[in-house]
Amino acid sequence: MCQCLNIPRSSYYYKAVVPVSEAQLEEMVKCIFLDSKSRYGARKIKKCLEAQGITLSRRRIRHIMKRLKLVSIYQKAAFKPHAKGKNEAPIPNLLARQFKQEKPL
C-alpha cells in the first residue's frame, strides 16, 4: 500500500504525539509525587506517566523534580545480623585421606 502511494513505510506507522506544555508536565509530576506521599522517584513517576499515555525520559523528570525541589523519602538499609545455618557442624574426615602433596604440580 505504501509503494502505491509513494510514501515511506515509517510514515504509515508514525504515531503523532500531542505536545504537552512544561507547566502541565510540572503539575503532573508534582501531583504524582504528592499522591505517593513523597515516596516515588523518577522511575516510578515515569511509569505513572506512561500509564497516562505521556512519554518522558527519566532525565527530564529528574530535572523537573530538581527544579521543584522534590526529593523522595527513602529508608537507609539497616544491618541485619545473619543467623548461622542449621547444618554448620564440622564434617568429619571419614575416609582418612591425606591431602599433603610431596611435590608441586
Examine residue 60 and state whether it is found in any structural domain, yes or no: yes
Examine residue 6 and state whether it is found in any structural domain, yes or no: no
Give the number of domains in the chain. Answer: 1
For residues 56, 58, 61 and 67, what is the CA-based torsion angle, rounded to 10 degrees? Answer: -140
Examine residue 94 and state whether it is found in any structural domain, yes or no: no
Compute CA distances 48 → 33, 78, 105, whole Å: 10, 29, 61
Examine residue 80 and state whether it is found in any structural domain, yes or no: no
Give pLDDT tens digits for 37-54. 999 999 999 999 999 989
Question: Percent of the chain scored above 70 by pLDDT?
Answer: 99
- Model pLDDT, residue 30: 96
The parent domain of residue 67 ranges over: 18-73
Give pLDDT tens digits for 69-84. 999 998 888 888 877 7
Examine residue 95 and state whether it is found in any structural domain, yes or no: no
Residue type, position 17, single letter = V
Examine residue 86 and state whether it is found in any structural domain, yes or no: no
Q: What's the pTM value of the predicted model, to 2 decimals?
A: 0.62
Name the DSSP class of 59.
H
Examine residue 61 and state whether it is found in any structural domain, yes or no: yes
Give pLDDT tens digits for 57-68. 999 999 999 999
